[in-house]
Structures are given as C-alpha cells and as structure tokens.
A and B are shown apart, each in its own frame.
Chain A
Amino acid sequence: MVEMIRKSSTDEIVNHLILAGSCILLMLTGFGFLFHVDAIGSVFGGFNTMKTVHNWLGIAFALSLLYSLHHYLIESLEYDADDLQWFKVAGGYLSHKVKVPPMGKYNPGQKLYYLAVVAFGFAIIISGIGLWFFQDNRTVMLLSHIIHNVSFVVLVIAVPVHMYLGTLANPGTLQIMVNGMMPLKDARKKHPKWIKAIGKM
C-alpha cells in the first residue's frame, strides 16, 4: 500500500466544493445574462428564476469565500526566494527539463491564484450586492455594473486555468480536493518544505 498524507482537511474539501460549485454556476448564469442565452435561462425555467438563483448563489459563494480565508490567506501572503525562482522557470510548465525549486504546501502560482480569487471574488460580491440592493441609486448601479463585469472577465479566465492545472495538467491532484490525500512519496518530492515542516521527511 502506498503511504498517503493528508493535504486537505474535510473542512477544506467541503468548502471548496461549495466555492467551486457556486462559482461555476454563477459564471454559467452570468453568461446567460450577458449573452441572452435562452438555453441557459430555460434550465431554470426562465430568466426571472435564474435571477433569483444567481443572487442566492452569490450568497453561497460569498460565505464560502469568507470561510476559505482561514484556510489559505496566511500561507498565500508568504513568498520566499524559491518562489521567485519558481516564476523564473514558469513552474516547470513550459518545459519538463527545467529544475523546479523546492516548494512548500502551495506553489506561488496557487498562492497568487488565491489572492486573485479573494480580490476579484470580493469585488464581484460587493458589486453584486450593489446591483441587488441599491437599484434606485444610479451611481451605485453603474459603478457596480462595471466592477461586476471586470471581475467576471478576470475570474472567467483565472478559474478555468485553475481547473486545468488541478486536473489534466497534474494527474493525481484532483483527489486532494476529493478525499484530501496524496502519496507521501510524491509530497516529499513536490512539497519538501511542507513535509519537513510537519516532520515527515
């Protein structure tokens, strides 16, 4: 039996599921509104219901994003020399020959991804609240509308990149967000600094 190590707690996995699920549905319904896609509207029995669903999914997304802060925020704010070097070799994604520096629990790409999700996630949430509750204030509406859509463009690019990297580009990674485990052998290779820190090297 391969010895496994836990990388994500159940808490993290469940929260990620809510975050990812709500985010993807929000983007789907968002595209429905943006491009008047009747096929998406009819899934919800019309645009009126889709609007209600979109609003409440936003609440789910907001709560899970808030909750995720205690999982990832501190770690995602810490960078060292190896992280800098990681960018120089593009994380090893553009060539399999380069030597990727030793990483901690998360690589700087993931950390920056988290910060982007936090920044644009909260921007899209707050502007969403503006569009929902300040309908009679033209300035708030126009400002919220543009912030909501700029954030949408960023997220609609960043999230699929994350999805690709978390699945096809890194075989075996997906299970970290399913059962939370990864082989200890792999973790020693990929996250030596993390494994050292928890004394399993």
Chain B
Amino acid sequence: MTNDTTKKRKAILVTPENCIGCRACQVACKSWNQLDPIKTKNNGTYQNPPDLAGTAFNIIQFSEVPSQIDPVRWLFLSRRCMHCDDAGCMTICPSPGALFRTPEGAVAFDHKKCIGCKLCSSACPFDVPRYGADGKMSKCNLCADRIAADMTPSCVKTCPTGALKFGDRDELISAAQKEGFKTIYGEKDLGGLGTIYAFKDEPKLYGMLENPTIPTSVVFWHTYLKPLSLIGLGGVVAAAAIHYLAIGPHKEEEKEEEV
C-alpha cells in the first residue's frame, strides 16, 4: 500500500486481556452480515462455533492455561481476518476484483467476482478464508459497508469492555503502547496488519502465530514465475522475428525441414 493510504488506514485493536468472552461480537457480526446459524455440538470447550466458517466471520478462541499461581486461567482471543497489508489472499487470487482493498485498508470481497477456486485459503498465513454454500469466499470485510457510512464495525460497536476498538491504526497503536502493552501483534508483520492485538503476555500464549508469512512458493511464484512467463513469451516472439530477418527461413534449394 502506498503511504498516503497508510496514513488513514483503519484498524481493529483487540486487547484480549479485556475480553470477558461474552461473544456479543460473534452475535453482532452474524446479525449485521445476516449470516445463517451453525448447528454445533458441545465439545467440552467454551469455544463455539469451533472454528471460523463461511457464516462465522469472527470467533472467540478459547484456551485454558493453568499455572501454579493461577490454576484457573481462561484466555479469550477474538479472531477474524487480519486485513494484512501484504495479503497472501490478494496476491494469489486469479479473479480481478474478487478481493479488493477498501479505502480504509481492509481486504474486502465481492461474491459475484469470486470464482470459487479456493486458492486464497492456501495462501493466507492465518487460515482465515472460508466459503459459503455457493463455494464463494466468505470472510470478515471489516464491515466495509458500515465504515463507509461512518459507523464502526458491528463487533466493535457491541463490545461492552473495550476489548475491541476501532480507529486510525497509528493512533490505536500509540495509545496501546502508552497504556503499557509491550507487544502490539501485527504492528510490522506482513507490512502491518489491520487487526492488531495488544498483549502484555507472549502472544504465543494466546495461540497467536509467531512470524506469520505468506507461503514461500506463493512469494516465489509472484516475484519470479509471473514475470518470467511474460518475458519468456516476449523473448520467443522477439527471437523469432530476429531469426526470420537476420538468418531467414529455410530456402528451397538447401531446405532441411525442421519443426
């Protein structure tokens, strides 16, 4: 992204420490985005639904980390698309406009343009993209429609504790740092994430990915193979033209057919 858009780049700041696990954000997201409910089973954990889904754009990821001093420690982590600046999903997507960058820096999608190839889920470092019943990609788009109308994303709007905040990315980061959060997860990763997390503990404790990266093969393909295919084709056309002019086709008398 260019610098001028970075300046007004918006973000969601998650402060897991403040999250009480009420999951109002899950409900608000469903309600605003009109997502169908999912039938789930009790599988012995507080986490429900068990994972992100085509109709669950955000979830509270729950982990129990008992320790000697704190035998009952429950951690709640609000998960959704990270709205990466360097987004693997956008890099790999073969259909123009299926994934696009909103003016606020979010990664949004267009159902009509998605061709359902599911490449995005293999290129996403955070295992975010899910697909609807129609096979089309379906994920958090940072409530692009609400933001455009000057509202905050519905999950943030409903959060009762301030564990979710929305605003200018730079301001959110400096405010969190002033409040004493040592680690702002996503401040620099992948060019800077649009969903950032304020931690005092190690992010790993909450199940955050250390050093998220786009798969090497995708980066290699994007930086070398794509240009090579054009250069290769152009090179053949140029070489053929030069050969035709400088050396010329096989002549009748001394003709040796080669194809």
Contact = CB atoms under 8 A, between A and B. Distances in A.
Interface of A: 31, 33-36, 38, 41, 46-48, 50-51, 91-96, 100, 103, 106-107, 109-110, 131, 135-136, 138, 141-143, 145-146, 149-150, 152-153, 156-157, 160-162, 164-166, 168-173, 182, 186, 189-191
* B95, B122, B217 interface centre (most CB from chain A within 10 Å): B122
Nearest to B118: A135
Given A34-B94, A189-B255, A51 B115 contact: yes
B190 interface: no
B32 interface: no
A96 B118 contact: no
A170 B257 contact: yes
B217 A142 contact: yes
Interface residues of B, number: 43
Nearest to B257: A190
Given A153-B228, A173-B257, 19 more contacts: A51-B116, A51-B117, A93-B258, A94-B247, A96-B254, A103-B256, A138-B121, A141-B119, A145-B119, A145-B217, A145-B221, A150-B225, A153-B232, A157-B232, A162-B259, A164-B243, A166-B259, A168-B244, A170-B258
B147 interface: no
Contact of A149 (B221, B249, B257): B221
A162 B98 CA distance: 36
B141 to A, nearest CB: 20
Interface of B: 92, 94-96, 98, 113, 115-119, 121-123, 215, 217-218, 220-221, 225-226, 228-230, 232-233, 235-237, 240, 243-244, 247-251, 254-259
A47 B96 contact: yes
A186 B257 contact: yes
Contact of A169 (B94, B122, B244): B244
Contacts of A171: 249-250
B229 A34 contact: yes
A155 to B, nearest CB: 9
- Interface secondary structure of A, over-half rule: helix
A133 to B, nearest CB: 11
A1 to B, nearest CB: 18
A201 B211 CA distance: 71
B13 to A, nearest CB: 29
A92 B256 contact: yes
A47 B113 contact: yes
B96 A110 contact: no
Contacts of B259: 106-107, 109-110, 162, 165-166, 170, 173
27 contacts: A33-B94, A34-B94, A35-B226, A46-B113, A48-B95, A51-B95, A51-B116, A91-B258, A92-B258, A93-B243, A109-B258, A142-B122, A145-B92, A152-B225, A152-B229, A153-B225, A156-B232, A160-B240, A164-B240, A164-B244, A165-B258, A168-B244, A170-B258, A170-B259, A171-B249, A186-B255, A186-B257
Given A91-B258, A152-B229, A153-B232, A96 B121 contact: no
A121 B55 CA distance: 39
A165 to B, nearest CB: 5
Contact of B95 (A33, A100, A190): A33
A141 B229 CA distance: 20
Nearest to A110: B259
A161 B250 CA distance: 15
B236 A164 contact: yes
A181 B250 CA distance: 18
A136 B235 CA distance: 37
Given A157-B233, A169-B249, A131 B117 contact: yes
